[in-house]
Structure 1
């Protein structure tokens, strides 16, 4: 999916509008292990992931980094609470593969919102999707076993899972790498 197709899928913008605002995006290459945003910084951009995989994580009190989310191609990405509130980010977003992004500055988003009501609708949809994703993650952690969470990840992103290190997968699932190895042996897709 291209960025154009992504925005077309919302049925909010005309072809001319999409063409015009896509010109505002900056293409950015992000190398493996590089950051889109770091914990403690302000997130002043939003990105469409053209290629690559990102992980969102935070530092726990014991100094461990805790992966709580993966971002895959053809989705939008931002440290959302920092982006909308201009507060310091509580999360880091790191490329776990080489990636290509289309980046839009917050000022440009604010201008688009003032120029076109459909951007307000678009941002509302994105906020709703973020909420649903957060709720789904909460219920997964409360109701599903680690094996079930791993199966869901495999089912939803089979082409990308092999690019995520066991360390990050185990952190995301809330288990040890050893436990993850056992789960992987038991599950075959």
Structure 2
């Protein structure tokens, strides 16, 4: 719970009463490795804050290939924000790469916090803006890099993820085959 509160406090001020209210609205939940937190075609009704583990966001392209869009690990919020806000079905899957623990904020909890805590919407807007900027900053450089550069960039930006994520997911994220990734890894050791 402390990690969630500390994260929120980076984006705005909350007093003790407000913090207690937030604590009363979140629910700690767990999911096992390989289970899906969310599936495409469904409307997201929750926002989560990962406290332990890694989740991946993926989709299927028009050829039926599974593509890993990105990974989220500890101390990050996760939501398909467009589908959540517009209440439309998501096109993405969210799958646990490892066993995960996370706090759930339901749509009604978010509404209650918004109506009770004056600064809440501003805090959430700042978190959303940071999340979108982080996503752009992760994806944009990958467009101009070759496979080896993408892998080295991944290692630099996410040093703790490389050994926690299956090679097939990492290869998909990098836009290369698993055998190419294995060859790259062998050549840089």
Asked if TM exceeds 0.5, the reply is yes
C-alpha contact 2:18 2:117 (8 A) present in aligned 1: no
Could you tell me which runs of 5 or more consecutive residues in structure 2 were left unpaired when the two chains were aligned: none
Local SS of the residue matching 1:117: coil
Residue-pair matches, total: 188
Query: Structure 1's 44 and 55: CA in aligned 2 closer, same or farther, altered over 3 A?
Result: same
Give the distance between the partners of 1:9 and 1:133, measured in 2 at CA.
16
1:98-143 CA distances to partner (integer Å, 9 max, x unpaired)? 0001101011112211222311111211221232133224412322
Aligned to 2:74: 73
Could you tell me which runs of 5 or more consecutive residues in structure 1 were left unpaired when the two chains were aligned: none
Aligned to 2:52: 51
Give the distance between the partners of 2:38 and 2:129, measured in 1 at CA.
22
Local SS of the residue matching 1:66: strand
Local SS of the residue matching 2:119: helix
Aligned to 1:162: 163
C-alpha contact 1:24 1:104 (8 A) present in aligned 2: yes
1:63-97 CA distances to partner (integer Å, 9 max, x unpaired)? 11100110000100112211111100110100010
Give the distance between the partners of 1:137 and 1:187, measured in 2 at CA.
22
| Alignment map for 1:39-118 (pairs within 5 Å) | 39-118=40-119
Give the distance between the partners of 1:145 and 1:13, measured in 2 at CA.
45
Local SS of the residue matching 2:168: helix
CA RMSD of aligned residues (A): 1.6
Aligned to 2:132: 131
C-alpha contact 2:56 2:71 (8 A) present in aligned 1: yes
> 1:45 Cα deviation (Å)?
0.2
Shifted more, 112-121 versus 83-92: the winner is 112-121
Query: Structure 1's 165 and 76: CA in aligned 2 closer, same or farther, altered over 3 A?
Result: same
Aligned to 1:183: 184
Shifted more, 82-91 versus 6-15: the winner is 6-15
Give the distance between the partners of 1:159 and 1:97, measured in 2 at CA.
13
